[in-house]
Amino acid sequence: MVFSRETMLSSTAIFSAAASLVASTVLLRTIAADLVPAQVHDYFFSSLKRLSDRLSSHLTVVVEEFDGLTSNHMFDAANTYLGTKLSISTRRIKVNKLERDEEIAVTVDKNQEIVDFFQNVKLTWISQSTSIKQLANKGDSKNSRTELRFFELSFHKKHKDMVLKEYLPYVLQRAKAIKEERKVVRLHTVDYNGTDYWSSVALNHPATFDTMAMDSEAKKELIEDLNRFINRKDYYRRVGKAWKRGYLFYGPPGTGKSSLVAAMANYLKFDVYDLDLREVQCNSDLRRLLIGSGNRSIIVIEDIDCNVGVQNRETESEARMVEDDKITLSGLLNFIDGLWSSCGDERIIVFTTNHKDRLDPALLRPGRMDLHIHMSYCTFDGFKTLAFNYLKKEDHTLFEAIKELLATVQATPAEIAEQLMKNDDAEVALQNLITFLQNKKHTMTETE
Ligand SMILES: Nc1ncnc2c1ncn2[C@@H]1O[C@H](COP(=O)(O)OP(=O)(O)OP(=O)(O)O)[C@@H](O)[C@H]1O
Ligand SMILES: [Mg+2]
């Protein structure tokens, strides 16, 4: 094909006209949005847009809020992602905050343009909405939407593959990370007075792995195990195993078993489901509750040795005679082993106990629980973590005396924390702790 100079010129002219048409469309749309009736406005702009699209070298990708009745994940992601890409030219934004959220979430309002760059390619997003006619279900105000929101993403045609294969997946991934950062970890407990089902509150537990006073090797092992678990989605899928992990935390009261669960939840941003087996009537209830717990969660069964039917097989068979569907250890283990492999991903189950020796050997069998973590009396290392948490002290002349006492006295981290909290003055607090440990030593030697 041969182009004359005139056609070349005129096609250049058309392209630049098209470009300014796109720009004017955005501007006009912003001005007109509030002035012109919605239907007229929509008709006018869609005609204008069809014309500019035909002339332009740009490709426009439309991302609608809903696909039929289900919401479009891509829209949601773009909405979250673009909220972090606002520029000084953005004129209107929206903010919202659910009660349980800690931070305010920012999104763009309609008719706003946002420019993003990815691999040096300019990508222009415009947030739009169009009014939709009310059809049936007039009474159902919840489901009758009056407008359909969507984004238009325009860029040069030649980048189509890059946008579809790289940029949009990147937006999805960024949105997921942004949401994760904002996520507030929740604690779910069973509401036995009401629905007999999970109800939740924000888990405001401050514990982190840094604040946990525990054996540093055990801490390291647990963190590595969690990291490996989180990164192994594909592996678990490939080998056909349920993607879950089981831990047993054991040790005396006040050594931080429950705090360690909170530290894990805060680290992974997983919700905690606290299951009190004493309140669960039967295996079918247990099944219903476990199925009803969300993905990316930690299910905690505290004091497993104190829970009905779980101690050993003999009491279990007695219980069976009384009531056939009574919750049993085998019911529980069945669940851990098999049943829930079909109903959920990224689950961690934690059992805690003060008396590991009282547990049924079936529960302790290798392979049943992936890690057994012993939470024990406070060591000097543990004390140093607590001294830093509570007094912001990494060293002090009184540390040496405490080190000597801790070598012979059994005190839990909870007891030590209590002493350290009693006074803001480090010197006084540490002296209090020394007196406390000395008293403990005396009572220990007296009872021996
Ligand atoms: N290892 C620890 N590191 C830091 N703080 C701790 C530790 N252990 C206990 N504490 C402090 O003591 C409080 C009680 O600890 P926690 O409830 O976690 O103990 P527990 O082992 O679950 O006890 P129980 O067996 O009675 O359930 C915690 O809120 C925390 O302030
Ligand atoms: Mg506890």
Please report the pLDDT score of residue 440 as a whole number. Answer: 92
- Specify the residue with its C-alpha closest to ligand 1, atom 7: 256
Q: Do 313 and 417 belong together in one domain?
A: no
Bridge-based pairing state of the strands 347-353 and 186-191: unpaired
CA 80 to chain centre: 16
Same domain? For 347 and 278 the reply is yes
Based on the fold, state whether residues 178 and 195 are members of the same structural domain: no
Distance from C-alpha of 395 to C-alpha of 134, rounded to nearest angstrom: 71
Tell me if residue 195 falls in helix, strand or coil. Answer: coil
Q: What local confidence, expressed as pLDDT, does residue 142 receive?
A: 47
Separation of CA 205 and ligand 1 centre (Å)? 11
Residues 276, 348 within the same domain? yes
419 CB within 6 A, ligand 1: no
Q: Which atom of ligand 1 is nearest to the CA of 213?
A: 3
Token pair 């050997």 is found at 361
- Counting ligand 1 atoms within 8 A of each CB, the residue from 258, 302, 388, 415 with the most, and so the one to mutate, is 258
Q: Is residue 99 part of a domain?
A: yes
Phi, psi of 192 (to 5 degrees): -75, -20
Q: Atom 14 in ligand 1: which residue has the minimum CA distance?
A: 254
CA–centroid distance, residue 136 to ligand 2 (Å): 54
Q: What is 82-96 written as a DSSP string?
A: HTT---TT---EEEE
How much distance in Å is there from the Cα of 412 to the middle of ligand 2?
Answer: 13
Domain finish residue from 333, 356, 374: 374
Calculate how far, in angstroms, residue 375's C-alpha sits from the geometric centre of ligand 1.
9
Ligand 1 atom at minimal distance to the Cα of residue 259: 18
Of the residues 182, 206, 239, the one at which a domain ends: 182
Ligand 1 pocket check for 376: Cβ under 6 Å:
no
Say yes or no: 102 and 192 in one domain.
no
Q: Are 160 and 203 part of one and the same domain?
A: no
What ligand is nearest to the CA atom of residue 210? 1
Residue 24: inside a domain = no
Residues 84 and 153 in one domain: yes
Residue 26 domain-assigned (yes or no): no
Q: Give me the domain span that covers residue 94.
A: 57-133+142-182
- Look at residue 130 and give its three-state secondary structure: strand
Residues 262, 174 within the same domain: no
Substitution site in 211, 214, 255 for ligand 1 pocket (most atoms within 8 Å of beta carbon):
255
Q: How far is the CA of 174 from the centre of ligand 2 (A)?
A: 36
User: Which atom number of ligand 1 is nearest to the Cα of residue 252?
Assistant: 25
pLDDT score, position 300: 94
β-pair partners for 96: 105
Residue 331 Cβ inside 6 Å of ligand 1? The answer reads no
33 CB-contact burial (10 Å; exposed 0-12 / middle 13-18 / buried 19+):
middle
Choosing from 335, 354, 374, the residue where a domain stops is: 374
- For residue 250, the domain's CATH number is 3.40.50.300
Task: Indicate whether 173 belongs to any domain.
Answer: yes
**Residue 30 included in any domain:** no
CA of 402 to the centre of ligand 2 (A): 26
> Quick check: CB of 430 below 6 Å from ligand 1?
no
Strand partners, 210: none
Look at residues 291, 276, 408 and name the one whose alpha carbon lies nearest to residue 342: 291
DSSP symbol at 185: P
Q: Are 86 and 108 in contact (CB under 8 A)?
A: yes
Question: Within this chain, do residues 369 and 292 fall inside the same structural domain, yes or no?
Answer: yes
Whether residue 42 lies inside any domain: the answer is no
Q: How far apart are CA 250 and CA 255, in angstroms?
A: 9
| Structural domain total, the chain | 3
Using the mean position of ligand 1's atoms as its centre, give its distance from the Cα of residue 414 in Å.
Answer: 5
Q: Are 94 and 108 in contact (CB under 8 A)?
A: yes
Please report where in the chains the tokens 């005679």 appear, as a residue: 321
Please tell me whether residues 214 and 359 are part of one structural domain.
yes
**Cβ 171 under 6 angstroms from ligand 1:** no
Q: What is the mean pLDDT of each run of 10 residues along the chain (448 residues)?
A: 42 50 56 61 69 76 86 91 87 80 80 93 93 58 69 95 97 91 87 77 90 94 94 80 86 96 95 87 79 87 71 47 59 66 76 88 79 94 94 93 94 95 92 95 80
Residue 308 lies in a domain: yes
Check whether residue 247 and residue 357 sit in a common domain.
yes
The whole-number pLDDT of residue 1 equals: 41
Query: Is residue 19 a part of any domain in this protein?
Result: no
Whether the CB-CB separation of 114 and 108 falls below 8 Å is answered with yes
Tokens found for residue 392: 């912001």
If you measure from the C-alpha of residue 165 to the centroid of ligand 1, how many angstroms do you get, rounded to a whole number? 48
Does one domain contain both 365 and 264?
yes
